[in-house]
Amino acid sequence: MQVAKEGMMSDEWKVEHDLGQYRLMLDHLTAYREKKLGIHALLSALKGLLTALESKNGDWFEEAISERANLEILYAVECDRCEEAGCGFDAVDKVLFELASVKRSIQNIELIARERLGALS
């Protein structure tokens, strides 16, 4: 019986850990939308938070990774364009903040995080 309890404790810890990761994702996405966080910092945070999840099973995880990768591609393209034009990173953030594809990816990641919070709570 002790082994079963220890296994349950371990699983409970994993769930709590993942809940915290999803909350942090939502906090970072909100900070980005409120222009308190740049896209580079958001990408870095999302990569770390997704990597640190204990449970990565399911299509939702691949979708989240795909949306983050989409953001990274858009960021890289805009950085290259901006470097050629001689503008700074602030300009990159301004352009990306207005792109519909960036907004869509942000919304999709937020939806995934909210759905996972609901599923685990």
Mean pLDDT of successive 10-residue stretches along the chain, which has 121 residues: 48 93 98 96 97 93 97 95 85 93 97 96 86
- Tell me the Ramachandran region of residue 75: left when phi exceeds 0, alpha when psi lies from -120 to 50, beta otherwise: alpha
For residue 14, the model assigns a pLDDT of 92
For residue 3, the model assigns a pLDDT of 44
CA gap 18, 117 in Å, rounded = 8
pTM of the model: 0.87
Tell me the residue type at 110.
E
For residue 88, the model assigns a pLDDT of 77
What is the DSSP track for 76-119? HHHHHHHHHHT--HHHHHHHHHH-HHHHHHHHHHHHHHHHHHHH
105 lies in which domain range? 2-120
For residue 86, the model assigns a pLDDT of 86
For residue 4, the model assigns a pLDDT of 46
Quote the number of domains for the chain.
1
Q: Is the separation of the CB atoms in 54 and 18 below 8 Å?
A: yes
